[in-house]
Amino acid sequence: MGQENRRVLNSLGRSVPTFIDGLGAFDPYRGPWSRLEGGHERTHFAPPLKGRMPQGSKVTPSLRQAIEASGLQSGMTVSFHHHLRNGDALLMAVLNECEAMGIADLTVAPSSLTDAHEGVADLVRRGVVRQIHTSGVRGAVGKAISRGEVEVPVVIRSHGGRARAIEEGSVVIDVAFLAAPACDPQGNMTGALGPSGCGSLGYAQTDARHARHVVAVTDHLVPQPLRQVSIPQYLVDQVVVVESLGDASKIATGAARITRSPVDLKIAQDAYRLIAASELLAPAVSFQVGAGGASLAVAAFVRDHMRQKGIKGSWGCGGITGYMVQMLEEGLFEALYDVQSFDAAVCQSLARNGNHIEIDQSWYANPLNRGCVVHNLDVVVLAALEVDVDFNVNVMTGHDGVLRGASGGHCDTAAGAKLAIVVAPSFRGGVPSILDRVQTVVTPGETVDAIVTERGIAINPRRKDLAEAARAARLPVKEIADLKKEVEALTGVPERAEPDSDRVVAVVEYRDGTLIDSVFQVR
């Protein structure tokens, strides 16, 4: 079996490979800024410049003909974006077509894998897919990887880390198949229009600029000129028209609602109070929240605060929800930076509001470009599967050790923001969320300022100023070890099965490309 030759302990005491057959050499994680502080500089990978004769057509009649014309062969790398969420049918359609054409051993490098991509597990078993680079893995694919069914370890990257890897050429995309909710015959495309409208195409923009060959696939071909262009024609080789890009009901999701769970609301309220105590909730604040229960609810409290005090923020960013759009349209922000729209309710805003700005993956979070949006965040509120007493956060593996999450922008925003708050219920399903040591580190505790649970707020000892402010505001501040004990008195102490540390099934890259943790085969 192709396996890593050697492993070392990184600065968090996690065992990570220094070389992986099929992937090459890796450096261990040495702290959130180890590469930036060294004045890291790399050559920017560039795809070939290609010319076309005038007056030709880019429209190819079928996916199969497009794959043939792209020159895709066994062993190459293909990429996709996951802006169509759980409704995407393109990734599976392309890979199934590849199988029918006898193309195998592909490296698949989507911006993430969603519930729509369960079939990838079978494609691995049938040899169509040999390697996977992704931000998230769920369901059957996560199980297959965790059982060791993918021979070469899967590389998990954050959004910023993926942009970095593509721009520096660590991941070289041979053919990008980009679902285009609206596209003209020259390949100008947008995600803001069309029956499969999904909002921003931020991740796809990065692929379009770096892939050797770009295929736009659309179910809504419009005459040139398309008025709103997310990806311009000069980056696109072919345009294919298909009947449908996927399941419209899962693409065109309605706006996420604020949770009604009392536990989540209590957590959100305390998180909001902590933000207020930090004094960052001032004019020109910049802000990001996730779409999950407690984190989105924080936005509701922040919104009330801003309206009452007449505070106008500067910008919101990230995965954008309908709720953030509402705040934009109420004038609570000057602008939104949208790399990914969490609900399709955002589409109209992207088409209508000039201050709803679509940004690419590198602009959003690449730590090694000349300045990404998340590096100017004031406040970010993030969810977690589990946290530990060193404030490390796991959003990747469940308590059985199986991959079932997504790295996303978690470590990018935590590193960039002045105040990074992690919200989590103190236990889920009777299992405590605070551990001595998380199973998998995605976001290092060095970049997490506070953990808010319904039973109290733990503040990173590095942030004495924040602890002082929180205590002055009479917030329920507790030592994280005490909070952990308090929860365990209710739930008991779980005994986890140790994974098989002989076999690395996935590696977790920190945003700068160093390895922050390994995921081991489950027994």
Partner 1 sequence: MIVQVAQAGTLESSDCLVTVSPAPGLELEWRGPSASLFAGRNRSLVETVLAEKGLEGAKIIVQDQGALEVTLRARIGTALDRARKGANR
Question: How open is the CA angle 491-493-494, to the nearest 5 degrees?
Answer: 100
Distance of closest approach, residue 261 Cβ to partner 1, in angstroms: 12
Is residue 32 within 8 A of residue 444, CB to CB? The reply is yes
Distance of closest approach, residue 397 Cβ to partner 1, in angstroms: 14
Among 2, 312, 497, 501, binds partner 1 (CB under 8 A): 497
Percentages helix, strand, coil for the chain (3-state, rounded to 5) are 30, 25, 45
429 is an interface residue for partner 1 by CB under 8 A:
yes
Among 82, 399, 404, 455, binds partner 1 (CB under 8 A): 399
Nearest by Cα to 322 from 330, 312, 314, 334: 330
C-alpha distances (whole Å) from 272 to each of 127, 175, 346, 460 are 49, 44, 24, 17
Helical (H) or strand (E) element with 288: strand 286-289
Nearer to partner 1, 39 or 429 (CB): 429
Query: Which listed range, 101-109, 193-201, 338-346, 427-435, lies at the site for partner 1 (CB under 8 A)?
Result: 427-435
312 is an interface residue for partner 1 by CB under 8 A:
no
Distance of closest approach, residue 141 Cβ to partner 1, in angstroms: 20
* Cβ neighbours of 429 (radius 10 Å): 7
Q: What is the DSSP letter of 361?
A: H
Among 2, 22, 127, 492, binds partner 1 (CB under 8 A): 492
Nearer to partner 1, 263 or 311 (CB): 263
Distance CA 455, CA 352 (A): 42
Distance of closest approach, residue 438 Cβ to partner 1, in angstroms: 15
Distance of closest approach, residue 387 Cβ to partner 1, in angstroms: 17
Q: Tell whether omega for the bond before 28 is within 30 degrees of 0, i.e. cis.
A: no
Site for partner 1 in 163-192 (CB under 8 A): none
Query: Which listed range, 159-167, 328-336, 429-437, 474-482, lies at the site for partner 1 (CB under 8 A)?
Result: 429-437
Burial class (CB in 10 A: 0-12, 13-18, 19+), 31: middle
Nearest by Cα to 406 from 416, 415, 418, 394: 394
Distance of closest approach, residue 222 Cβ to partner 1, in angstroms: 47
Site for partner 1 in 110-169 (CB under 8 A): none
Both tokens assigned to 279:
């004094």
Nearer to partner 1, 272 or 520 (CB): 520
Distance of closest approach, residue 262 Cβ to partner 1, in angstroms: 13
Among 44, 126, 464, 496, binds partner 1 (CB under 8 A): 496
Among 431, 437, 471, 485, binds partner 1 (CB under 8 A): 431
Distance CA 486, CA 480 (A): 10
Q: Calculate the CA 212 to chain-centre distance.
A: 23
Is residue 456 within 8 A of residue 483, CB to CB? The reply is yes
Query: Which listed range, 27-35, 218-226, 425-433, 472-480, lies at the site for partner 1 (CB under 8 A)?
Result: 425-433
Continuous H helices in 425-479: 464-472
Nearer to partner 1, 68 or 400 (CB): 400
Distance of closest approach, residue 305 Cβ to partner 1, in angstroms: 32
Distance of closest approach, residue 491 Cβ to partner 1, in angstroms: 6
Helical (H) or strand (E) element with 240: strand 238-241
Nearer to partner 1, 9 or 493 (CB): 493
Distance CA 364, CA 32 (A): 17
One-letter amino acid of 303: R
493 is an interface residue for partner 1 by CB under 8 A:
yes
494 is an interface residue for partner 1 by CB under 8 A:
yes
Distance of closest approach, residue 435 Cβ to partner 1, in angstroms: 12
Among 430, 472, 474, 502, binds partner 1 (CB under 8 A): 430
Distance of closest approach, residue 494 Cβ to partner 1, in angstroms: 4
Distance CA 153, CA 389 (A): 28
Nearer to partner 1, 93 or 522 (CB): 522
* Cβ neighbours of 343 (radius 10 Å): 22
Nearer to partner 1, 481 or 490 (CB): 490
Question: How open is the CA angle 416-305-372, to the nearest 5 degrees?
Answer: 20
Nearer to partner 1, 8 or 490 (CB): 490
Query: Which listed range, 129-137, 201-209, 310-318, 422-430, lies at the site for partner 1 (CB under 8 A)?
Result: 422-430
Site for partner 1 in 325-384 (CB under 8 A): none
Nearest by Cα to 204 from 218, 223, 185: 218
Q: What is the DSSP letter of 377?
A: -
22 is an interface residue for partner 1 by CB under 8 A:
no
Nearer to partner 1, 243 or 495 (CB): 495
Query: Which listed range, 35-43, 84-92, 272-280, 489-497, lies at the site for partner 1 (CB under 8 A)?
Result: 489-497
Among 15, 491, 500, 503, binds partner 1 (CB under 8 A): 491
Is residue 458 within 8 A of residue 466, CB to CB? The reply is no
Among 375, 428, 471, 503, binds partner 1 (CB under 8 A): 428
The footprint of partner 1 on this chain (CB under 8 A) covers a number of residues equal to 15
Is residue 188 within 8 A of residue 226, CB to CB? The reply is yes
Distance of closest approach, residue 493 Cβ to partner 1, in angstroms: 7
Nearest by Cα to 87 from 212, 194, 166, 230: 194
Distance CA 339, CA 319 (A): 6
Is residue 372 within 8 A of residue 160, CB to CB? The reply is yes
- Where on the chain is the footprint of partner 1 (CB under 8 A)? 399-400, 427-431, 490-497
